[in-house]
Amino acid sequence: MSEFLPEWLDLREPADLRARSSEVTNAVSARFALRDHVRVLDLGSGTGANLRATAPLLPKRQTWKLVDREADLHGAAKSRLIVWADSAECLGDDVRLHKDGREIDVIFTVADLASETKYLVDELLDLVTASAFFDLASEDYIRVLAKAVSDRRTAFYATLTYNGQRRWTPHRPADNQMASAFHRHQLRDKGLGNAAGPLASAHLADQFRLNGYAVIEGDSNWRLERSERMLIEELVRGHAVAASEIGGIDAKTIVDWINVPRTGAVVGHTDTFAIPAS
Ligand SMILES: C[S@@+](CC[C@H](N)C(=O)[O-])C[C@H]1O[C@@H](n2cnc3c(N)ncnc32)[C@H](O)[C@@H]1O
């Protein structure tokens, strides 16, 4: 079973959509404004949230390849995309969506990006994108990916890369200890080498600049309030599980920390758009 349950991805989708940097989305729209058709590769596509959020920025005809190692998530993505669209046609395993005057062909590919990224990026593409993905990847993975994308002079858009900022309301002294346990856990290997975690967006910007790209970055922080209690509680639970797994904090501290009633949370993310500089 996937580490990323569809229920968790559903819970975060509205917060993700609201958080995206408008400076970066404007740059993405502007880049493709004169195009009729774009071919897009979405890395770690989950339930298809990145397509739902990014398609409105792109031209009337789009072909998306959604790549995930979890076939179950593709099933969840297909059903959610069909509900999201104004109308849909199934074309074998793939699907054609009509949404707000756009025609969007979606191809679902099950692949482990640890071994397949180079081949996938090597296809004829206009945009390589990912959301909430790169903090899972290693610095090395990011370096190789940036080189492969740049070799093809393809545009690149990574959104909602976790950047290490985390603030709870109310603040408690154990917050810092829990955050550091969470970060130690984040740096473990999630299948793409030892994860860059909070440093991933800095590595993305550095690597694309080194390959001669112009990079635009913007904040896409979650600013969660009382009304998003379920998402806050799920974040708290995720921290507690990570802290228990990684060790170093006694069980009572973790239990006391979980039981603090929280009314808000800020979670820092960065959006990155990179295009060939000339
Ligand atoms: C945090 S989820 C984000 C999903 C989606 N992009 C979104 O924004 O809701 C990360 C996704 O990356 C996928 N993933 C992680 N490692 C992968 C790998 N090595 N190969 C393919 N997919 C991977 C997971 O299965 C999961 O769907």
CA of 26 to the centre of ligand 1 (A): 25
CA of 171 to the centre of ligand 1 (A): 31
- In this prediction, residue 216 carries a pLDDT of 98
Assign 3-class secondary structure to 213-229: EEEEEEECCEEECHHHH
pLDDT in tens, 89-104: 999 999 999 999 999 9
Does pLDDT of 196 surpass 90? yes
Rounded-to-integer distance, Cα 134 and Cα 148, Å:
16
- Average of per-residue pLDDT values in the chain: 96
- In this prediction, residue 278 carries a pLDDT of 77
Q: Is 192 in the pocket of ligand 1 (CB under 6 A)?
A: yes
Q: Is 113 in the pocket of ligand 1 (CB under 6 A)?
A: yes
pLDDT in tens, 111-165: 999 999 999 998 899 999 999 999 999 999 999 999 999 999 999 999 999 999 9
Does pLDDT of 1 surpass 60? no
Taken in order of first residue, the domains within the chain and their CATH numbers are 6-165+193-222+269-276 (3.40.50.150)
Does pLDDT of 232 surpass 60? yes
Record the tokens describing residue 155, joined without a space.
Answer: 């545009």
Ligand 1 atom, smallest distance to 13 CA: 9
